[in-house]
Structure formats: C-alpha cells, structure tokens
Amino acid sequence: MIMYGLSTCSVCQKALKALEAVGKDVTFRDIRAEPLDEAELSELILEFGDNLVDRSSNDYRALNDWLKNSDAEAQITAKPKVMARPVIRDEGVFYLGWNEAVQAAVLAR
C-alpha cells in the first residue's frame, strides 16, 4: 500500500497511524520531497479528475489566475500542496481523502 501526501498534513498523519495500527504495510510518499512523475500524476488524474485538486485550500486560492484556469496536472506540478490528500493506492485500487467511506473500505481490505 502506498500513501501519497505531505508529512506535515494532519489528515495524512491520522490515516497513516490508523492503517499502521491495524497492521497495514504502508509506504508513505511525501509529494513535496519526492514529486509525482508525469506517469503517476496522469494515472491519478485519470482516476480522480479535477477532484485531485483541493480548491478550498489557501494554497489553491494563492495560485495566479493562469494556473487556476489550467488543468489539474499543471496546478499540482506547480504547487504540489494543492493536491487533495491523502491518496491511497492499495493493490491497484485508489482512494482519495480519509473520510468514513474511505476508512471503512481501506481498513476492511
């Protein structure tokens, strides 16, 4: 299982702790320290579309107008912190966020 996020993100930290507490083997990847390559980002955009960008974040609001009107790939490449997180990949199945539905699905696998 791979979790993409930010090491400073409290939601990512909660998700990681919960997964490890039930014995899941999780590889955490900080997307700021180790940015997604073009293929990885394309795969996530194919899976989640524009939902991959957290438009409610201060980082998104701070983007210039050109980037705000660009596609999700350009936005995340320019400012990785705008990516919604965490993104969890478990045996080819992707999950976005850490809400109750995601928790139930991931912890049950």
Predicted local confidence at residue 108, as pLDDT: 84
Q: How many domains does the chain have?
A: 1
In a domain, 7, yes or no: yes
In a domain, 83, yes or no: yes
- The segments of the chain whose pLDDT lies below 70 read none
In a domain, 34, yes or no: yes
In a domain, 48, yes or no: yes
The pTM score is: 0.92
Q: Which CATH number fits the domain that encloses residue 60?
A: 3.40.30.10
Structural domain including 78 reads 2-104
In a domain, 109, yes or no: no
In a domain, 26, yes or no: yes
Predicted local confidence at residue 109, as pLDDT: 80
String of DSSP letters for 46-95: HHHGGGGB-TTSHHHHTS-HHHHTS-HHHHHHH-GGGB-S-EEEETTEEE
Predicted local confidence at residue 49, as pLDDT: 95
In a domain, 98, yes or no: yes
